[in-house]
Structure 1
Amino acid sequence: MKNVSELYQKTQHPVRILQFGEGNFLRAFVDYAVDVANEENGFDGSVAVIMPRSGKTDRFSKQDDIYTVCLRGQQDGKVYKENRVVTSVKTVISACDEYDAFMALAHEDSLEFVVSNTTEAGITFDEKDAFTDCPPTTFPAKLTKFLYERYTFYKGAADKGLTMLPTELNDNNGKLLRDCVNQYVNTWKLNEGFKIWLDQHCSFVDTLVDRIVVGYPKDSIDALQAELGYEDNLLDQAEPFSLWVIGAPALASRLPLNSSKFNVEFTDSIQAFKEQKVRILNGAHTSMVLGAYLAGLDYVGQCMEDPIIRKSLDQTVFDEIVPTVHLPKEKAVAFAKAVYERFENPFVKHALLAISLNSISKWKARVLPTFKDSLAATGKLPKWLTYSFAAFLAFYRTTQAGEHCLIGSRPGNTYEIHDDEDKLAFVKEQAGKGTADYVKAIMARSDWWGEDLSAIDGFADAVTAHLDRMAEIGVKAHIAELTKE
């Protein structure tokens, strides 16, 4: 079988994007988007990929940096498959092993943008980094040296500033990266002209990204390569859904990556899009999975096929969550429908127990703000979000300890409950008490929730009633009852 590089050729475009990170996510997200934009929008750009650490680049060079992105999932209610050979990567360079080649990219006249995905821990300052290091350790330190090289080479030319677009999951990731770079500038005592150039001609933009990337599908690679008709050792699998929210509307004309296959939103309201993702996608997960697991289901896909759980999710999302999102309703509804298709993806088996990890902090971040906004807007406790707190308490309620976990049970099997050990210890202490006392003890932990939830009028009584009814008739039957109210 021939290699993909024997059948396809790299397209020739100027390097417009420097990319820190060679991982699966960026290759199926940014590099895919650039490839489509070159074809559909005339973007005319290629990507120079930087491996931040030492590592062999020959796995890329052996394929001339060409690889396939296989999208598998659902769109518009139908199974969706797309196999795209991505040819937008110009070169892959190790910052550590090919330092001079890395810095030479700072001289590229066409360069405009820097993207990165170095994990949330990647945007950090390390006082041990020195300007004389070739290269320094952290990503922000490498970037500072790169920007200084470009500033020096072009003698501070105003049109040679760069736009940084970090995709790490940190809040305010652009601002955080700018702060780290400025910290290195001050620590290394770099000249005042460079500071002015950075401030006036470079920009650090907050972004939000959303796409599930599976990566190299070891279990199904033989079947995929047989389908493709060639070998590809860099093959990258992802879901069809994509969203890149970029917090700078003025960039839309310079970075035309929005296409028929890739969704980009340029906005000055990035927090509203983050709220949408957390409340609808993550909040739907957290509010549904614990009760669904106790009702006998194991995977998200099963929940979407079960008429009772599906109806409960519909009522939760469209009646209680979507109205609290601070975006136009049609956008929030469209996003929710896309989330449903992601939950229904037949190519992904997402275990409910995996989503159950650390449910205390997840309920606080993903559900509580929606709960409070709904309560404030309607003047009454939202039925399903109230139930979701009861489902969490039912899932966690046990006095049996395991190794660094608690052991819960449902009809037919036991399961592990994983969270912070001090939180689990407290739950274990309270679980044997009467239901009302158990509910109030957990609700009163303002250090967990940011406030005493038992002070919310009627909340503790409503949750206690849910738990009593679950115990009386079973979780699935209780969910079915609630769907009919």
Structure 2
Amino acid sequence: MSGARLSLASLAHVPAPVRRPGYDVAAAQVGVVHLGVGAFHRAHQAVYLDDILGRGHAGWAVAGASLRSPNTSDALDPQDGLYALVTRSGEGDRLRVIGSLRRLLVAPREPQALLAAMTDPAVRIVTLTVTEKGYCHDPAAGTLDEGHPDIRADLADPERPVSAPGFLVEALRRRRAAGIAPFTVLCCDNLPANGRTVARVVARLAALREADLGRFVEGEVAFPSTMVDRIVPATTDTVRALVADGLGMEDAWPVSAEPFSQWVVEDHFPLGRPPLEEVGVELVPDVAPYEHMKLRLLNGAHSTMAYLGALAGYAHIADVMAAPAFARLVERLQDEEITPTLHLPAGVDVGAYKRALRERFRNPALKHRTWQIAMDGSQKLPQRLVAPARDRLAAGAPIPLLAFAIAGWMRYVTGRDEHGTPIEVRDPLAGRLRALADAAGPDADRLTPALLSVREVFGDDLPADPRFAGPVRAALGRILAGGVAASVAETVAG
């Protein structure tokens, strides 16, 4: 069908090797609202729900909402919400059409429609992937940032919210007023103890609106914790062309991902849930051991490679892992300083887990950009690198490799690479970080305490602890004096 576009009308013409939804897509009923309908959701939770719909459970389709950009809605509305997922590995590419996304909403354009969807009694779960910064919280403390501009806006005009917590609170208020039981809030972002963190943030915002509403959220709304894992690079024109060739028709916004996918969920859903266990989701009483293992071993290594790799000129994670000294840094960081901080889930072979991670990092087909992972570092570092450093210090153990990784972030946020070329630092605190770096200059003795003063990242304890500040300052000094590549080689040789 040359010139055709993926849609319900053209679905029957998708070539047979491509997996298509095994159910009546048009008849699927929305039971989940998802906030933050970006690439990760479409390559992860939406795929599991597509599998569930394919097993005959028709009431678990998704209404997805973008809280900022209309791009996803504009791309997928003409496609009836359909899109292709391509799983990429060294063994080749596999295509699949996903049909679970049955409605697309753009919050700034239609906030009342989104609130109505969240208030629908058929909706029993609201899931979120709004990134760490989307919760308007203090990452170091895990509490609501009451001075955040979006939170101030939501308190000033609560019936027209702009933030994810604002939408949750207003929708829960409306359900309560209408006598509809509250939905379960399922955070799928990389926050520490994400269910409890989001519960704390949402309950506080509710209490700021009305004390009784705050008590209701705290006492009656379920916030199970989760751990999600799949590497999902940003969609490129190369992926679009590959998908168009495989489908024989255009898909305006496909997604690509690695073959690996994992979802671990605390099993607490008062209004019921889809049969997640039927599609490989791990339902457990306590997510924390899985969360720590993934946040620190995978995400901590990712951030380390992103900052140091980008500064050294590596565009993709696979490129970083192809450099022997950088690969050795990742291995030693994981083995020597992160693994001892973990409380491992029963039966987990952490050695096999780490070996599998390193192979995933080396996937040559994935093209996961270091710049993409480097975004929003001020929101990510507290749980990925700072928390294990804090645990090591509490145990009286040294942190030379964690300090080196954190120093890499400090060098990156100065906004220029080793050739003086500007770096586009995407971070909610980018302006503040750049001002601190510019005032300190490229001097580790000045730059280290300047950036350690950012309490949202480092809290109040670590900047005053010489066991932390000293190694970070020494590592940053080596990076500034000798460059990243030489410093990595020196560090892993030590």
Return closer, same or farther for 1:20/1:279 CA change in 2, 3 Å cut-off: closer
CA deviations 1:181-200 (Å, max 9, x no partner) are 4544x28xxxx8x9997666
2:364 aligns to what? Answer: 346
Correspondent of 1:280 among 261, 273, 297:
297
**Aligned match of 1:36 in 31, 51, 56?**
51
Deviations 1:130-179 (A, max 9, x none): 55xxx6555555555544555565xx37xx44212244566512332344
* Alpha-carbon RMSD: 4.8
Superposition pairs of residues 77-476 of structure 1, within 5 angstroms: 78-79=90-91, 81-92=93-104, 99=112, 103=116, 106-108=119-121, 110-118=122-130, 120-121=133-134, 125=151, 126-129=154-157, 131=159, 137=162, 139-140=164-165, 142-144=167-169, 146-147=171-172, 150-151=175-176, 156=179, 160-167=181-188, 172-184=197-209, 186=210, 202-214=221-233, 216-249=235-268, 254-258=273-277, 263-264=281-282, 266-270=284-288, 272-288=289-305, 297=314, 299-328=316-345, 330=348, 332-333=350-351, 335-352=353-370, 366-374=384-392, 377=395, 381-382=398-399, 384-385=401-402, 387-388=404-405, 405=414, 407=416, 409=418, 413-416=419-422, 420-428=433-441, 431=443, 438-439=444-445, 442=448, 447-448=453-454, 449=458, 450-452=461-463, 455-456=466-467, 463=474, 467=478, 471=482
Residue 12 to residue 312, structure 1, CA distance change in 2 (3 Å): same
Change (3 A) 1:252 1:307: farther
Residue 112 of structure 1, CA deviation: 1.9
CA contact (8 A) 2:257 2:366 kept: no
Counterpart of 1:175, as a letter, is R
| CA deviation after TM superposition for structure 1 residue 314, in Å | 1.5
Query: What amino acid is aligned across from residue 447 of structure 1 in structure 2?
Result: S
Shift of 1:408: 5.3
Distance 2:130 2:299 in 1: 22
Cα pair 2:437 2:447 within 8 Å, conserved: no
Query: 2:227 touches 2:264 (CA, 8 Å); kept in 1?
Result: yes
Question: Structure 1: which amino acid aligns with 2:205?
Answer: C
SS state at 2:97 partner: strand
CA deviation after TM superposition for structure 1 residue 85, in Å? 1.6
Q: In the comparison of the two structures, how many residue pairs are matched?
A: 443
SS in 2 for 1:279: helix
* TM-score, normalisation: structure 1: 0.70
Higher alpha-carbon deviation: 330-339 or 289-298: 289-298
Report how far residue 34 of structure 1 moved.
0.4
Taking the aligned partners of 1:304 and 1:407, their CA distance within structure 2 comes to 23
User: Contact 1:245–1:265 (CA<8 Å) still a contact in 2?
Assistant: yes
SS of residue paired to 1:254? coil
Change (3 A) 1:453 1:355: farther
Contact 2:203 2:218 in 1 (8 A): no
Three-state SS of the structure 2 residue aligned to 1:205 is coil
Q: Which consecutive unaligned segments of at least 5 residues does structure 2 have? A: 13-23, 137-149
Amino acid at match of 1:339: L
Given the two structures, how large is their TM-score scaled by the length of structure 2?
0.69
Q: Which amino acid aligns with 2:364?
A: P
Q: Return the match for 1:46 from 57, 60, 74.
A: 60
Cα distance in 2 for partners of 1:477, 1:199 equals 51
Judge conservation of contact 1:20–1:50 (CA < 8 Å) in 2: yes
Deviations along 1:219-255, one digit per CA (max 9) or x if unpaired, are 4423321112233334333343434444445679834
Query: In the TM superposition, what is the alpha-carbon distance from 1:113 to its structure 2 partner?
Result: 1.4
Secondary structure of 1:367's counterpart equals helix
Aligned residue number for residue 399 of structure 1: none
Instruction: Output one character per residue of 1:296-328: Cα deviation in whole Å (capped at 9) or x when no partner.
Output: 755422221223332232222123222212324
- The whole-number CA distance in structure 1 between the counterparts of 2:113 and 2:376 is 44
SS in 2 for 1:233: coil
Would the alpha carbon gap of residues 347 and 183 (structure 1) be closer, same or farther in structure 2, given more than 3 Å must change? farther
User: Aligned residue for 2:80?
Assistant: 64
Residue 114 of structure 1, CA deviation: 1.9
Percent identity of equivalent pairs:
23
Does the 8 A contact of 2:33 with 2:117 survive in 1?
A: no
Q: Distance in 2 between matches of 1:113 and 1:454?
A: 43
**Max Rg structure:** 1
Distance in 1 (CA, whole Å) between partners of 2:272 and 2:313 is 50
**Are residues 1:7 and 2:11 paired?**
yes
2: CA distance between counterparts of 1:66 and 1:118? Answer: 21
Amino acid paired to 1:326: H
- 1:71·1:240 contact (CA, 8 Å) conserved in 2? yes
Partners of 1:137 and 1:361 lie apart in 2 by 20
Question: What are the superposed Cα offsets for residues 44-76 of structure 1, whole Å, 9 maximum, x if unpaired?
Answer: 43324154679696865543333222232x4xx
Cα offset, 1:391, TM superposition = 6.2
Shift in Å at residue 35 of structure 1? 0.7
